Chain A
Amino acid sequence: MQKFTLLSHQWKAATRSAAVSKSIGIKVFMGFVFFILFLELLGGGFYVGSTLAKSSANPIADLLRYGLYFFLAILLFRYMLQKLPTLMVKPYLVLPIKKSKLVNFMLTKPLFNSLNILPISFVLAITLGLHKQMDTYSFWVIVGSVMVGDLFVNYLSIYIKRVQIKHEYVFYLFLASVGALLFLDQFGIIDLQAFSSLVFIQVIEQPLFLLLGLLLFVVAYYLNFQLLYNHFSLEDFGKGDTNQRSSLENLNYLDRFGKIGTFALLELKMCVRNKRTRTMLFMAPLFLLYGLFFYTKPDYHEMNGFLIFIGIFISGGFMMSFGLYFFAWESGHFDLMLTANNTYKDYIKAKYYLMMSTSTVIFLLSTFYVYYGIDILIINSMCFLFNIGINSCCFSTLQQTTTNTWIFRKVQHLIIKVLAEDILF
C-alpha cells in the first residue's frame, strides 16, 4: 500500500512540476524530436546490421568486437543525460516508513526511465539487418546480454553520479579514465576489440555467463543501496560541508571598473562557488579541443557547413552552455537585483562582457588551428564574431527564468534593448 502511495506521489510530482506546464506546442515539439531521434537510431541500427551482413564474412563475430564500445557509449550517454533519480525524501524521513523501503523505491525508479528503450531498440534494429546471418539462439543471447549489460551500466552510472555529489573529483576521474582507456586503445597499447570479442564469444558459447552479468548488476544495485542507506540522514542531502574555500576573496582588481566590475566579480564568484556552474567553467576549455577531433581528418575540410558548426562551438561553447541559463542562475537573488539601485543595465552588460571575454580568450587560443589551414582560421574568426554578436543575445533570451512571466518579459525586453543600443552599435 505504502509503495503505491509513494508511487502516486511520484506521479503527482511529475505531472505537477513546472516543466510539465510548458505550452502544448513545446511538448509536441519535444515529442517530435524524441520520435525523430528514435527513428534515426532504428534506421542507423538497421544500416549497421545490413552493411555488416553484406561486407563481412563473419558478421556476428565482427559485431561482438564492438560490444564493449557499445556499453561504454551507453555508460557515457546515460551518465551525461540521465538525471539522478531523487525522491524528495525530506518529508518522508520523519514518517514511519522503513528506510530500506524508501531506498528500494528510489532505486527502482531508473528501471522506468524512457531512455531505457533506446539501447535495446538500436540492437534490435541491428539484428533485423542481420537476420539472414543470425540464428534464433544467438539472437536471444545477444538480446539477453544487452538487457543485462544495460541494467548494470544503468546502475553503475547512477552510482558514479551519486558518489560524485560528495566527492567532486570523481567526475573528473571518471572522464579521465574513459579518455585514457580510449586513448590507449586508439594507439594500440591495449586492444579493446580483441577483449570485447573474447568476452562476448564466451557468452555466446555458454549463455550461463549471463548470470555473471546479472551478478554485476546485483553488485551495482547493492553498492547503490549501501550508499543511500548509509547516507540517508538529512545532512547528506544538504549542501555538503561548510568548510569554505576562500575563492576569489581578494579580486579587488575588478573594482576599478565601477559597477560593471562589481557585477562581473559577483558573476565569477557564482561560477566558482556553485557546483554546476563550476563544472561548466572547467569544461569550457574542452570545447577548444573539439577541433582536434575533426581538423585532423582531411575529409571534413571539404564540408564548410560542418566547419562553421565546429567554429561556433569552439568559441561559443561556454557561452551556449552558460548563457542558456543566463538568468536562471540568478533566480535565487532576482528580487534583490530588481529592487537594487537602478543598475539593471550594468548588470546585463557585466554578464555580456564576461561571456564575451571568455569567448575571446578561447578564440585567441584557438588561433593555433591555423596549422590546419588558413580557411579554418577565417571560418573560426567569423564564427567568433557571430557568437559575440548574435549568439549571445539569442541564448540569453531563450531560457525562461522566473515563474513570473511579467518580470521575464520586462527583462527580456531590456536585454535586447541594452545589447542592441549600447553594445552592438
Chain B
Amino acid sequence: MIHIENLSKAYNAVKVLDIEQLQIQQGESFGLVGNNGAGKTTLFRLILDLIKADKGQVLSKNIAVHADSQWKNYTGSFLDEGFLIDFLKPEEYFKFIADINGVTKEELQAFYNDFADFFGDEILNKNKYVRDFSKGNQKKIGIFGAIISQPEVLILDEPFANLDPSSQIRLKMLLKDLHQKKNLTMLISSHDLNHIAEVSERIVILEKGQVVKDLLTSNDTLGELEGYFNPEAAVETES
C-alpha cells in the first residue's frame, strides 16, 4: 500500500530521516515509536506530501505522492492542530470535511451515531468554536475528522496523547474495530508503548531517523520495546 524508497530529509545538514526501504501492506496496522526527534512526524509529513524529501520517494498504491495527489482520495490524517479549522464549531468542521469528501448528510448522521460513545457528551452541541476546546477534545475532533471520509489509509500522530483515560481506551477499541471491519491500513505513532503494542500488528522503532527495529507484535513485544528504551531496567528484570 505504502512503499518508502531511499527516503531522506535533512534540516541544516542534519539528517532527521533516512530510510532505505519500508513497505506497509494493505490492511496492516503499523505502529511507529521512537524518542523525541527520532523522525516520526517527519516521516508522516513526507507521506502526506507536506514537506519535500531531499532524496527518495514515497509511493502510495504505486504512485509517488509528490507527483500525483490521487492518495488524497483514500487517505485520512490528523497530525496536529494544523488539521483543524479553529473558528468553526465541531459540527461545522465535520460537515465541511464531509462536503469536500462527498459524504452525504445521512451518512454523516449515521457516523455520529456510531461514534457517540467516543465523543462522550463534551463535543457535540456545545456551541463552542474548535479553538475553545481543550487539547484532548480537539484531538478527538481531529481524529473523528480524519475518519469521516471512510479512508483506506489512516495516519494519526500520537493520537493517545492528551486524551483522558476513558477516551484512550475508547480510541483503542475504535481503532481495532475500524481495522478489523474496514480492513483499514493504519499508521499510528505513539509514546505509549502499551497502547501501541495493543493496537498494532507491526511496530517499527525509529532512532535518529533510521529504522532500528521492525517487529511483528507478539506477546513479548511489549517487553522487547521496554527493553529497548530502558536497557538497564530490562537487565534487572531478567536477572
Select one of A246, A266, A334, A342 contacting B96, CB under 8 A.
A266
User: Considering the chains assembled together, what is the distance between the CA atoms of A315 and B127 in angstroms?
Assistant: 36
A234 within 8 Å of B (CB atoms): no
User: Considering the chains assembled together, what is the distance between the CA atoms of A395 and B50 in angstroms?
Assistant: 24
How many A-B contacts if CB must be within 8 Å? 78
- In A311-359, the 8 Å CB interface with B consists of 332-336, 338-343
Do B51 and A406 touch across chains, with their CB atoms under 8 A apart? yes
A242 within 8 Å of B (CB atoms): yes
B234 within 8 Å of A (CB atoms): no
For the complex formed, measure the closest distance between the CB of B215 and the CB atoms of chain A, giving whole angstroms.
29
Select one of B52, B72, B88, B132 contacting A242, CB under 8 A.
B132
Do B81 and A342 touch across chains, with their CB atoms under 8 A apart? no
Residues on A with beta carbons closer than 8 Å to the beta carbon of B102: 341
Select one of B49, B72, B88 contacting A340, CB under 8 A.
B72
For the complex formed, measure the closest distance between the CB of B12 and the CB atoms of chain A, giving whole angstroms.
13
User: Considering the chains assembled together, what is the distance between the CA atoms of A255 and B105 in angstroms?
Assistant: 12
A269 within 8 Å of B (CB atoms): yes
A296 within 8 Å of B (CB atoms): no
**Contacts A244-B128, A246-B127, A259-B99 known; A333 to B85 CB distance under 8 Å?**
yes
Interface residue range, chain B: 35 or more
Select one of A246, A266, A339 contacting B72, CB under 8 A.
A339
A273 within 8 Å of B (CB atoms): yes
- In B190-225, the 8 Å CB interface with A consists of none
**Contacts A341-B72, A406-B51 known; A336 to B101 CB distance under 8 Å?**
no
Residues on A with beta carbons closer than 8 Å to the beta carbon of B128: 242, 244
A-side interface residues, number (CB < 8 Å): 27
Do B88 and A269 touch across chains, with their CB atoms under 8 A apart? yes
Do B48 and A336 touch across chains, with their CB atoms under 8 A apart? no
Do B73 and A341 touch across chains, with their CB atoms under 8 A apart? yes
B107 within 8 Å of A (CB atoms): no
User: Considering the chains assembled together, what is the distance between the CA atoms of A136 and B166 in angstroms?
Assistant: 79
A5 within 8 Å of B (CB atoms): no
**Nearest A residue to B52, CB-CB:** A406
Do A244 and B129 touch across chains, with their CB atoms under 8 A apart? yes
Q: Which 7 A-B pairs have the closest CB atoms?
A: A335-B82, A273-B87, A336-B83, A262-B99, A333-B85, A242-B132, A406-B52
In the complex, besides A332-B81, A333-B85, A339-B72, 7 extra interface pairs with C-beta distance below 8 angstroms are A244-B129, A259-B99, A266-B96, A335-B50, A335-B82, A338-B48, A341-B100
Residues of chain A touching chain B, judged by Cβ–Cβ distance below 8 Å, are 239, 242, 244, 246, 249, 255, 259, 262, 266, 269-270, 273-274, 332-336, 338-343, 404, 406-407
> What are 7 residue pairs bridging A and B, where the CB atoms are less than 8 Å apart in the complex?
A249-B92, A266-B96, A273-B129, A332-B81, A339-B48, A339-B49, A404-B50
